[in-house]
Structure 1
Amino acid sequence: MIEATHLTKRYGDIVAVDDLSFTVKPGRVTGFLGPNGAGKSTTLRMLLGLNAPSGGTVTVDGVPFAGHPRGLRHVGALLDAADIHGGRSAHAHLAALARSNRLPLTRVDEVLHEVGLAKAARRRIGGFSLGMKQRLGIAAALLGDPPVLLFDEPLNGLDPEGVRWVRGLFRRLAADGRTVFVSSHMMAEMSQTADHLIVIGQGRLIADQSLEDFAARDTSKTVRVQTPDLADLANVLTAEGASVQKETDEVGLITGLTAARIGDLAHQHHIALHQLTSENTSLESAFMSVTTASSDYLAGEAR
């Protein structure tokens, strides 16, 4: 389990992480989301002891990461797949990590096979594609068979097969009872992978809830209606503050009211409905609706 309590990081006058508290529990995949500059990478670096907090604490199973001897046995992490010695082979890189953490060298071949790099084990890392480096970084995270794993943007550079493989890997690790913490900007993948979300903006906590509950915060959720009296229904709904977009003479897209409220209003005004359907909520839309005010960089928009 990962637990941050009033975690704060300042760089001079800049507050990168601001009184942040959350818990990442085992047995599920927890997504870590936020706009660029939100403080996600800084938070992960503090978790691993690479940056010292200005205030608060962050622990792994109740102990700061530095307090765990042979760290790879306790936490496996991928922060930057490109930050690696290009002159070494994949096997040599992992073997060095294994020796420094007193892990059996047999684990090197096991994890290379697991991530699909067995045939490239003796090749120099400098010739690897970004996707191959991501796989190698995941192999390093798995090397100590740790109970806690964290990944920062692990899908960058992966092809569709690789993305599918990573999705299945994370779910399997969580099903084994491990703590899996994944920072990513790929909303479509998070919607298929994560069980729970922690969302931050400008270093502060915005949401800490299940994927389903967070997606339900989508303020742009649309309801599709079909009625032979669309014009009359539109007048009723706009009077209630809704927005109505006409698709055909009988079909409209409604925002601003729930399907239940639309149905009640249609009934009250004796308007027949042939269809009343809530469109699927979107994780991306929910994310945008709750983080726009916390974004440091908005393309083409005045702040």
Structure 2
Amino acid sequence: MIEVNGLTKRYGAATAVNDLTFTVRPGHVTGFLGPNGAGKSTTMRMILGLNRPTSGSATIDGRPFGRHRAGLRHVGALLDAGDVHPGRSAAAHLWALARGNGLPRRRVAEVLQEVGLEGVARRRVGGFSLGMRQRLGIATALLGDPPVLLFDEPVNGLDPEGVRWVRGLFRGLATEGRTVLVSSHLMSEMENTADRLVVIGRGRLIADQTLAEFAARGTRAGVAVRTPAPAELTAVLTREGAVVRPEGAALTVTGLSAARIGELAHQRRIMLHELAPHTASLEAAFMELTAGRTEYLAGDRR
């Protein structure tokens, strides 16, 4: 389990992480989500003891990472796929790490096979594509067969087959009861991979909940209604506590189910041409809830 309590990191006058508190529990894939510059990578580096927090704490199974002996046996991480000596082969890179952590040599062959790199084990990493480097980084995280795993933007550079493989890998690791934290800014990946989300913006916590709970926080979820009597229906639904917004020729209704809207319209003999519930969108909720918390905004091209 990963526990982050009041974690803060300042660089001079700039605050990268601001009083962040959340828990990552075993048995789930937890997505760590936020716009670029939100503080995700800084937070993960503090969890791993690579950056010292200004205040607060981050522990893994109750202790700071630095107090765990033979670190790779307890925590595996992929933070930067390019952080490998380009002159080493994939096998040599992994063997150096295995030897330093008291791991048997057979683990090198096992993880290379698991990530699909056994055929290039003796090739120098400098000649690897980004996708191959990502696979090597994942192999490094798996080397010690650890119960806790952290991955920062793990699908960058992977082809569609690789993306599908890594989704299955993460879900399988969680099913085995491991703690899995996956950082990304891609909504589609979180929808297809994660069970829970920790969402931050400008270093502050926005949400710590399931995907469905987070998506439901967006106001774009609701029911689309078309009727020849929009004013009359709006009055009826508003009295029932709904929020009604005109959108073009239709109404978007939140606060009442489609079934209840249909019942009220039938009781008042109001004709409906369309009654369609809109499923809450994770991407819509993310864009809405992180608005104003994005570090860099591009202007419209005119």
Distance 1:262 1:83 in 2: 57
SS of the equivalent of 1:165 reads helix
Matches within 5 A, 1:35-184: 35-184=35-184
Deviations 1:251-301 (A, max 9, x none): x46255644464355245322346522122211111011111211222227
Alignment of 1:181-192 (within 5 A): 181-192=181-192
Scaled by the length of structure 2, what TM-score is found? Answer: 0.92
Identify which of 230, 235, 244 aligns with 1:233: 230
Q: Distance in 1 between matches of 2:34 and 2:219?
A: 18
Alpha-carbon distance in structure 1 between the residues aligned to 2:173 and 2:40 = 22
The equivalent of 1:297 in structure 2 is: 296
Using the TM superposition, give the Cα deviation of residue 233 of structure 1 relative to its aligned residue in structure 2, in angstroms. Answer: 3.1
Residues of 1 paired with 2:234 and 2:72: CA distance?
58
Structure 1 residues 8, 259: CA separation in 2 closer, same or farther (over 3 Å shift)? Answer: same
Aligned equivalents of 2:263 and 2:231: distance in 1?
Answer: 14
Within 2, Cα distance between the matches of 1:183 and 1:165? 17
- Measured in 1, the distance between the counterparts of 2:110 and 2:7 equals 37
Indicate yes or no: 2:284 matched with 1:285. yes
Structure 2 unaligned segments of length 5 or more: list them: 239-243
The answer (yes or no) to whether the contact 1:49–1:66 under 8 Å persists in 2 is yes
2:13 counterpart of 1:13? yes
Backbone CA RMSD of aligned residues: 1.9
TM-score (norm 1): 0.91
Q: CA deviation at 1:243?
A: 1.9
Q: Deviations over 1:149-170 (max 9, x none)?
A: 0000000000000000000000
Contact 1:237–1:262 under 8 Å retained in 2? no
Q: Deviations over 1:14-56 (max 9, x none)?
A: 1111111110000000000111111111000000110001101
* C-alpha distance in 2 between matches for 1:109 and 1:299: 45
Does structure 2 conserve the Cα–Cα contact (< 8 Å) formed by 1:243 and 1:256?
Answer: no
Q: Is the CA contact (8 Å cut-off) linking 2:6 and 2:55 kept in structure 1?
A: yes
SS in 2 for 1:293: coil
Unaligned ranges ≥5, structure 1? 247-251
Q: Report the AA paired with residue 289 of structure 2.
A: V
SS in 2 for 1:41: helix
Kept in 1, the 8 Å contact 2:147–2:179? The answer is yes
Contact 1:196–1:209 (Cα < 8 Å) also in 2:
yes
1:35-78 per-residue CA deviation (whole Å, 9 max, x = no partner) reads: 11111110000001100011011000000000011110010000
Kindly provide the amino acid, as one letter, of the partner of residue 109 in structure 1: A
Give deviations 1:221-256, integer Å, cap 9, x for gaps. 252346xxx22136633895412333xxxxx46255
On the 8 A contact 2:225/2:253 being kept in 1, the answer is no
- Name the counterpart of 1:244: 247
**Alpha-carbon distance between aligned partners in 2 of 1:107 and 1:233, rounded to the nearest angstrom:** 67
Contact 1:6–1:56, Cα closer than 8 Å, also in 2: yes
Supply the distance in 1 between the matched residues of 2:151 and 2:137 (Cα, whole angstroms): 9
Match of 1:242, SS state, is: strand
Which residue pairs with 2:241 in the alignment?
Answer: none
Separation in structure 1 between the aligned mates of residue 170 and residue 269 of structure 2, nearest angstrom: 51
Counterpart amino acid of residue 111 in structure 2:
V
Runs ≥4 residues deviating over 6 A: none
SS in structure 2 of the partner of residue 243 of structure 1: strand
Letter in 2 for 1:123: R
Aligned residues: 293
Residue 22 of structure 1 aligns to a residue whose secondary structure is strand
* Counterpart AA for 2:24: V
1:95-137 deviation per Cα after TM superposition (whole angstroms, max 9, x unaligned): 0010011100100000000000000101111111100000000
Does the 8 Å CA contact 2:148/2:179 hold for their aligned counterparts?
A: yes
**Mapped partners of 2:101, 2:251: distance in 1:** 58
- Displacement of 1:202 after TM fit? 1.2
How far apart, in 1, do the equivalents of 2:234 and 2:14 lie?
Answer: 46
